[in-house]
Structure 1
Amino acid sequence: MTEVIDPEAGASNAPLELEIGNVMRSSFADYAMSVITDRALPDARDGLKPVHRRILYSMHQLGITHMVAHKKSARVVGDVLGKYHPHGDSACYDSAVRMAQHWAMRHPLIDGQGNFGSIDGDNAAAMRYTEMRLSKLGTRLFADIQKNTVDFRDNFDGTEREPEVLPLTYPNLLVNGSEGIAVGMATSVPPHNLRETADAFLAWLDNPEITTREIAQHMPGPDFPTGGILHDLDGYIQALDTGRGAVKLRSQWTVEDRPRGGSRLVIDQIPYAVNKAKLVEQIAELVREKKIEGVADLRDESNKKGIRIVLEIKREFEAEAIAFQLVTMTQLETSVRYNIMALVGQTPMQLGVRDLFEHFRAHRIEVIQRRTQFDLDRALDRLHILEGLLMALDRLDETIATIRASADADEARGGLIDLLGIDVTQAQAILDMKLQKLTGLQIQDIRDEHDRLTAEVADLRDILARSERQVEIMRTELLDLCDQHANERCTEIDTSLSKVSAADLIPEEDVMLIGTQQGYLKRIAAKDMNRQNRGTKGRSIMSVGEDDLVTTFHAGHSHDTLIALTDSGQVHAIKAYDIPDTGLGNKGRHYRNVFEGVEGNVVAMLTVDGLESVTHSLVIFTAQGLVKRTPLSAYSNATRRGGIQGISLVEGDSIVCARVSKDEPNESVIVAADNAKAIRFGMEEARAIGRTSRGVRAMNLSEDARVVAGDIIHADDLEKAHLMVVSEKGLGKATPASEFRLQSRGGKGVTSYTPNKRSGPVVAATVLFEGADVVLFNDQGGANRIAGSDVPHNGRATTGSAIIRNGSVRNVLAVPPPVEEDQ
């Protein structure tokens, strides 16, 4: 028990007796709520905590926008503490510093000048040394705040007014995220891409019944300013639904060759909020304790251009293997948690993405309504004055006479009210009007202004009366902001380790899958590979080292199952979208980052709808002229770690390509070799055999000849199909498949091409069906995509014309034509 004197009871009365537990609970509850509402949690509408809102508003009031010179940080902090936020100066300065750090904020709201810390955890310089101003986006947070768009409240001592929320145009809580620890609760919202967030919000706005997975197609995951690779998205859909979940973020690295042998592991992106200096120290400690072997040297070569942590790898060790060891033992990979807790009114609430969208929409609509009402009130006030002026101008002589006959202003005001039937405000405006307004042009200006304001008032009233116009204004302003401030995604998304179906996150599109001899694999959208003219140099779509070359590529669909065959005869299967889309120009990913337990290099790829089909077969062609046909269902376990054996290869033989047969009558097989011969025979001659067998003889080759291509043609397609043959120097032509007469399996074939010194030997071939495009790859990573109709059609014993003029041709592929988009 504790004693409390009741001040109203008088000194003579006995003190009150209160239960100390109740007093503590009540006091702690008040304290906790104060921390929650006034410090730790962001508002669901603008995504800002009070300290951040006060810092930004103070800079706005001081006029420190992106269009003026930077001001000392101490000046800003002093203004914030003195007017709005009576707490520690260091805490206030640290909050301002974070809003200026490009590695902390997806879209910084403050533009800092001077030392604002580093990703290594270095503190910013003292506030007396640094300067700041609002960033361009930070300035836009206050658009129309002067038009009564938000409510204001008294500051801590009642001498100033501050906004309860900012009238911002975009969902800042999702775009810039938030972190905070209150009493008994916390919030953790990762940042997201501005354009993606806007697209998701507008999709929800158009269809409030949209599913979470459809929202995720527009906003497929968080987007961190430090980049990295996002995976293990199992908790992402749950986070969008409930506000709670988690994803994993992995560093991005590349492997470079060292001039004197060995390799170099270069880490150029690290997870969000990871201290780079501590990460390097952590790696060095593991190397020093020999928990990580094979690292000859470790350097941090980071500079203003970006992060570059370099590990020199000894010759006998593999850089990719060491990278995966570091992933499991260091902060090269972290877990990013969602706990979307925000204030709705003054109540902390757990929110999903739909809740956030709803609160932002309601806030934005209210801002538009209040702004419109403010403009309407101002326009009506001015229109009221103009109506009085026009009445006076219409009776100008009488108006002047009334004013001249008046003894003073009050008498003149009353006279005008009686004469014109106007009110006091209008009469005073007439008295205040300068004589120059009586000129003809000035009178016309008043009439024009009256007409313009009349139309404006009608428009403003229409906005207030129609919710669909308010929504359209919200949409237009959001898209305008995105056009000015949105940028490309920084964080790559990899769904290969996620149980969430990538079909929920990955768009359906035609893709190209490309592999190299040294084990790099990449996926690009087919639409990114534009058509070019026949005979051009092509364009670079993959970075290939001096000792590397493109060995295989395939056209398919992003949601197909990719079957990959290695040079050891193993078959692996994954979804095509599990291969990261790394964009044009770079190397892509190493096979070991894509396939679990892969042995050897991938030498052939193809895509199928699924592996369970009992009506389709996998047909494999080898360089020594063998063909092997096995039911596709025999490879249903190819998705497991290490894949499964797909063919037994004899020494010196290798897989050239693989195709899928529909097991229908009248299918024929066509095989082309580098000795300028080709053979076509019926599919029934290649009977179905077991998964681990060698296959049967497809073509009888001369001793030094090798098969370069094999394909399957259905009888209905025979008249439309052409065999395209290409030489090393890029000369090629297409010959009707019907010119290759049906023969018995195992023959020597017939002439398919006539090489010469200008063309070089035959190196590649493909079957070209009607309407298809052709992509040629050279040994420098370049490619040329042309319309199949541009390929010259010639007889079997011809050379053809130039298709690509740069480098040596390595492969050719027929791909579907580009989809024509509606205009």
Structure 2
Amino acid sequence: MSSEPADDPDIGADRVKHVRIEDEMEQSYIDYAMSVIAGRALPDVRDGLKPVHRRILYAMHEMGVSSRSSHRKSSSIVGETMGDYHPHGDQAIYDTLVGMAQDFSMRYPLVDGQGNFGSMDGDPAAAMRYTEARMAPISEELLEDIEKDTVDFSSNYDDRLTEPSVLPSAYPNLLVNGSTGIAVGMSTKIPPHNLGEVIDATIELIENPDADVSDLVEHVKGPDFPTGANIVGKNAVRKAYATGRGRLRVRAEYEVEEWQNGRERIIVTELPFQENKARMVERIANDVNDGKLEGITDLRDESDRNGVRVVIELKRGANADVVENKLLEHHLEKTFGVINLALVDGQPQVLTLKETLEHYVEHRKEVVTRRSQFELDEAEDRAHILEGRLKALENVDDVVDRIQDSEDRDSAKANLREAYDFSEAQAEHIVRMQLGSLTSMERAEIEDEYEGVMETIEYLESVLGSEEKLLEVITDELREVKDEYDDDRRTSFVEDTGTVTHEDLIPEEEVVVVVTEDDYVKRMPVDQFDAQNRGGKGIIGADVKEGDRVSKVFRANTHDYVLAFTNHGQVYRLKTYEIPEVSRTARGKSAVNLLKLDDGEEITAVVTTDEFEDDECVTMVTRNGYCKRTTGEDFSNILSTGIIAADLDEDDALVDVEVTDGSKDLVIATEGGMTIRFDEQEVRTMGRNARGVRGIDLEDDDKVAGLVATDHEDDKSLLTVTENGYGKRTRLANYRQQGRYGKGLIDIKTNDRNGRVTSVKAVEDDDDLVVMSDQGQIMITHASDVSLVGRNTMGVTIMDLDDGDNVASVDVLPAATGAADAVDAADD
């Protein structure tokens, strides 16, 4: 024992190493990161396997659980793998085994599973004690010739056994089955491919080492997912192969088919790779329930063991193209991000398609070289033994006598070696020969075997002596694998027509939009209505519920943006096609499903525009006669909840809106039949939160009915329509310009016959008018049928109204889009 005291502070001091903590943390983290990268998360470029996959297959190989053996309990395989090679959790190993058996996870499953191994719906596999497994035949191609010193072995975790550092891999498994993994600071996501295509590209590279990616993609068309589906376009695929990174759009396979009673349905038969079918169906159902996805009446998952079948039934009259596009945008198409990251000599590298195949070819060259050398050594050893046997048979009598005269086996071997110059191995073999092998027939068999062995030696020497011959062997073996396992491509390509928007699938057409006081809204094609002579009753244009009445009608193009201004001074924006298209007799849809309206908030004015020009303003007028102009730029970013357009007094409401450019005259008309015309420059531009300035001096019982913007020398007419269905046209030149906030001029008589003014519009002679009543009657008539008269007159009958009904709103169809033209075009 040491005589030094145990508490001597100098003991072991020479073994203490002073290190800065940040340096130690950095180095330790790097060591940990590299351990995860190389030992767990990333595949090897040579066999395409991570350590856990490789260890499971090797454990099954050592257990004799081949494709020709009976299935073995998964728990047994997991236990052997964990106990001998992979000292991690049994559940992690089992999850890997399950993934290797799932035909929807691996393009070519490496494990043949028996039992419940999960589903595309995300259902977990049964516990490992209930399932059974064995190697799939294609797995044996990865392990082929592993006993022939083809790959390096290293000690397992406790130095009891050895395990392969890589598998021989008779085909490029990294590309064939792909790989997904997340390491420290990096991740890999390699899509699976068709085995035949990958092998053809590998052979192309062997035969033409100068081939580039463009040559290889003639064979490898693109990823081939186990779940099929479609890749949108080929440019992203080529980029991924050329750089090792890319983003592919993968689209479900589906078809739209005619169904009963004229309805249609969408049948989905293939899903994007790694899509959870049950979650997808649930998301679609939620969007339907939330009103985000319209036109769907039923949704069913009819999938079975024969494949995927999700049925989406559409409403009668629903636009299948629109529903299809919505489904693609949110549910039936996903992005697959390619990161071709793998370990090359233990270091992670992002590889192009060519680099990946080059590393595989180098691996196979080493495997075939080592196998050929191993087989050559065995053949030479056998030839040496056969040479000794043949020499012994030539001198059989003397050989037998010498063995008989020897005291023991060792002396017999010594005598033979001295007499015939046998090697130790030859002498050993001869003294162990049986007498039956001395027959002439046996001699002939030995001679034949020797000849065959010499031919093998000659062939193996030629393989080892010529790289060309070596590559021929690799090529032939690749073709054999292809002949055995090749199958048809599952994933197809569809043309990339760019980003297909919802709008792209909506036909561009002129429509009439109807809004009621209770905020029901709908649209109808203009060509549903024939133009009538003035004074008609029109036809039903909306089924208005009891207590409700039409408040607004306007025409728009389906691709227009609609700025909907409300009586509360708010403005909302939506596309015309977002308003549901329904029949003339239908009520429509509540606007609260399209716009976030408050209680009591009604749409009172509408502007249709795609975008504002730099000099354009939104000019507004309120019921109490206030007028304001705000630059169009202030309305460029309208929130889904709307934005303030004007700050109104409590007893005021926004009535009408026009888009102006600073060069217009404004004409404000009142319900009492007065009008005032003034230059818009008299109303300065102001912010959205402003109230505005007074535009007209109203009588106590009068209110503003509408606003018209006109050029200073406009030859248009001012159309004035009253609530009882009467109206007139007067040239705008008859309304002299004056300063704002005046009393104005008399426009039309508002007596008991006419009633109060409902609407004013600027029209040309060949325009058409859309007139809508409170109760939903709609009529289109020619503007020229309305008499052109002076101011302060009675007007003529425009629409014949039922008792208790009134004109609610009027809008103009410009000549280019008039209903009569549409009908004439259809007749032609």
**Cα distance, 1:21 vs structure 2:** 0.8
- CA-CA distance at 1:233 after TM superposition: 3.2
SS of the equivalent of 1:217 reads: coil
Assess if the C-alpha contact under 8 Å between 2:229 and 2:253 holds in 1: yes
1:464 match: 464
RMSD over aligned Cα atoms? 1.9
Distance in 1 (CA, whole Å) between partners of 2:494 and 2:13 is 77
Offset at residue 15 of structure 1 (A): 5.6
Paired AA for residue 496 in structure 2: S
Matched, 1:476 2:483: no
Deviation at residue 52 of structure 1 after TM alignment: 0.3
Q: After superposition, where does 1:306-385 map in structure 2 within 5 Å? A: 306-330=307-331, 332-385=332-385
Structure 1 residue identity aligned to 2:63 = L
Counterpart of 1:99 in 2: which secondary structure?
Answer: helix
Distance 1:466 1:114 in 2: 49
User: 1:399 and 1:14 mapped to 2: Cα distance?
Assistant: 69
2:252 counterpart of 1:251: yes
Larger Rg over CA atoms: 2
1:440 Cα deviation after fit: 1.2
| Rounded Cα–Cα distance in structure 2 between residues aligned with 1:8 and 1:264 | 85
CA contact (8 A) 2:212 2:354 kept: no
Q: How does 1:207-356 map to 2 (within 5 A)?
A: 207-330=208-331, 332-356=332-356
SS of match in other structure, 1:141? helix
1:101 match: 102
CA 1:294–1:87 in structure 2 vs 1: closer, same or farther (change >3 Å)? same
Deviations 1:560-588 (A, max 9, x none): xxxxxxxxxxxxxxxxxxxxxxxxxxxxx
- Provide the rounded CA distance (Å) in 2 between the counterparts of 1:90 and 1:322: 42
Query: For residues 666-699 of structure 1, what are the alpha-carbon distances to aligned partners after superposition, in whole Å with 9 as ceiling and x for unaligned?
Result: xxxxxxxxxxxxxxxxxxxxxxxxxxxxxxxxxx
Counterpart of 1:439 in structure 2 is 439
Q: Say which SS state the counterpart of residue 375 (structure 1) adopts.
A: helix
Matches within 5 A, 1:622-771: none
| 2-structure distance, mates of 1:111, 1:28 | 39
Is this contact kept in 1: 2:149–2:371, CA < 8 A?
yes
Distance 2:394 2:152 in 1: 43
Cα offset for 1:8? 12
Alignment partners' CA distance in 2, 1:444 and 1:209 = 51
Separation (CA, whole Å) in 2 of partners of 1:260 and 1:8: 96
1:265-288 CA distance string (max 9 Å, x none): 111111000100000000001100
Deviations 1:729-788 (A, max 9, x none): xxxxxxxxxxxxxxxxxxxxxxxxxxxxxxxxxxxxxxxxxxxxxxxxxxxxxxxxxxxx
1:149–1:16 CA distance, 2 compared to 1 (3 A)? closer
Looking at structure 2, the residues matched to 203 and 408 of structure 1 have their Cα atoms a distance apart, in angstroms, of: 62
Alignment of 1:415-434 (within 5 A): 415-434=415-434
- Whether the 8 Å contact between 1:234 and 1:247 is mirrored in structure 2 is no
Aligned-pair CA distance for 1:226: 0.6
* Aligned mates of 1:8, 1:274 — CA distance in 2: 64
* Distance change in 2, residues 1:275/1:14 (3 Å): closer
Q: Which portions of structure 1, spanning 4 or more consecutive aligned residues, are displaced by more than 6 angstroms?
A: none
When residues 195 and 30 of structure 1 are mapped into structure 2, their CA distance, relative to the original with a 3 A threshold, is same
C-alpha separation between the residues in 1 aligned to 2:484 and 2:119? Answer: 27
Q: 1:498 deviation in Å? A: 6.8
Q: Secondary structure at the match of 1:18?
A: coil
Q: Distance in 2 between matches of 1:253 and 1:131?
A: 35
Q: Which residue type is aligned with residue 456 of structure 2?
A: E
Q: Secondary structure at the match of 2:255?
A: strand
Q: Distance in 1 between matches of 2:186 and 2:230?
A: 29
1:146 aligns with 147
Residues in 1 aligned to 2:435 and 2:498: alpha-carbon distance in whole angstroms: 78
Question: Which amino acid letter does the alignment assign opposite residue 387 of structure 2?
Answer: E
Deviation of 1:10 after TM superposition, in Å, equals: 2.2
1:643-669 per-residue CA deviation (whole Å, 9 max, x = no partner) reads xxxxxxxxxxxxxxxxxxxxxxxxxxx
Counterpart position of 2:533: none
- The one-character-per-residue Cα deviations of 1:345-401 (angstroms, maximum 9, x if unpaired) are 111111111111111001111111111111111111111111111111111111111
Partner secondary structure for residue 85 of structure 1 = coil
Cα distance, 1:320 vs structure 2: 3.2
Give the alignment of 1:100-249 within 5 angstroms: 100-249=101-250
CA 1:283–1:205 in structure 2 vs 1: closer, same or farther (change >3 Å)?
Answer: same
Give the residue type in structure 2 aligned to 1:282: R
Counterpart Cα distance in 1 of 2:205 and 2:390? 49
Once residues 8 and 336 of structure 1 are traced to their aligned partners in structure 2, the CA distance between those partners, rounded to angstroms, is: 62
CA-CA distance at 1:220 after TM superposition = 1.6
Letter in 2 for 1:334: K
TM-score when normalising by structure 1 = 0.59
Please, which runs of 5 or more residues in structure 2 have no aligned partner?
1-7, 500-828
Larger deviation, residues 490-499 vs 300-309: 490-499
Q: CA deviation at 1:219?
A: 1.0
Indicate if the aligned counterparts of 2:111 and 2:135 stay in contact, CA closer than 8 A: yes
| Per-residue deviation, 1:13 | 6.8
Contact 1:256 1:264 in 2 (8 A): yes
Q: Pairwise mapping of residues 470-509 of structure 1 onto structure 2 (< 5 A)?
A: 470-497=470-497
Amino acid in the other structure paired with 1:262:
R
| Structure 1 residue 321: Cα displacement | 2.4
Asked if 2 retains the 8 angstrom alpha-carbon contact of 1:103 and 1:226, the reply is yes
Deviation at 1:404, TM superposition (A): 1.5
Find the aligned partners of 1:320 and 1:208 in 2 and give their Cα distance. Answer: 48
Residue aligning to 1:728: none
Please give the secondary structure, in 2, of the residue aligned with 1:302. coil
SS of 2:188's equivalent in the other structure is strand
Partner of 2:62: 61
CA pair 372-303 structure 1, distance change in 2 beyond 3 A: same
Q: CA deviation at 1:259?
A: 2.3
2:416 touches 2:422 (CA, 8 Å); kept in 1? Answer: yes
Give the distance between the partners of 2:170 and 2:44, measured in 1 at CA. 15
The residue type paired with residue 110 of structure 1 is V
Q: Give 3-state SS (helix, strand or coil) of 1:260's partner.
A: helix
TM-superposed CA distance for 1:77, in Å, is: 0.3
How far apart are 1:14 and its partner, in Å? 10
**Displacement of 1:204 after TM fit?**
1.9
Cα distance in structure 1, aligned partners of 2:256 and 2:217: 32
Q: Deviations over 1:230-252 (max 9, x none)?
A: 01433322221221112110011
Q: Deviations over 1:83-126 (max 9, x none)?
A: 00000111110001000000000000000000000000111000
Distance in 2 (CA, whole Å) between partners of 1:20 and 1:190 is 42
**In structure 2, do the counterparts of structure 1 residues 8 and 214 end up closer, same or farther at CA, with 3 Å as the change threshold?**
farther
CA–CA distance in 2 between the matches of 1:322 and 1:498? 18
1:155-175 per-position Cα deviation (integer Å, ceiling 9, x unaligned) = 000001111111111111011
Using the alignment, how far apart are the partners of 1:8 and 1:181 within structure 2? Answer: 47
Q: 1:470 to 1:495 in 2, by over 3 A?
A: farther
Check whether the contact 1:233–1:246 (CA below 8 A) recurs between aligned residues: no
Indicate how the Cα distance of structure 1 residues 359 and 436 shifts in structure 2: closer, same or farther if over 3 A, else same.
same
Does structure 2 conserve the Cα–Cα contact (< 8 Å) formed by 1:233 and 1:498?
Answer: no
Deviation at 1:18, TM superposition (A): 2.5
Contact 1:45 1:359 in 2 (8 A): yes
Shift of 1:9: 6.6
Is the 2:189–2:337 Cα contact (8 Å) retained in structure 1? yes
- Gap change, CA 1:353 and 1:71, over 3 Å in 2: same
CA distance in 2, matches of 1:56, 1:498: 44
Inter-partner Cα distance in structure 2 for 1:99 and 1:14: 49
Change in Cα spacing, 1:102 to 1:396, as seen in structure 2 (3 Å) is same
> What amino acid sits opposite 1:248 in the alignment?
R
* 2:403 counterpart of 1:403: yes
Aligned-residue identity in percent: 44
Distance 2:368 2:194 in 1: 24
CA distance, structure 2, for counterparts of residue 172 and residue 498 of structure 1? 33
TM-score normalized by the length of structure 2: 0.58
SS of the residue aligned with 1:188? strand
Distance 1:14 1:74 in 2: 46
CA contact (8 A) 2:47 2:142 kept: no
- Measured in 2, the distance between the counterparts of 1:213 and 1:389 equals 58
SS of corresponding position for 2:189: strand
How many residues were matched structurally? 494
Give the distance between the partners of 2:19 and 2:372, measured in 1 at CA: 54
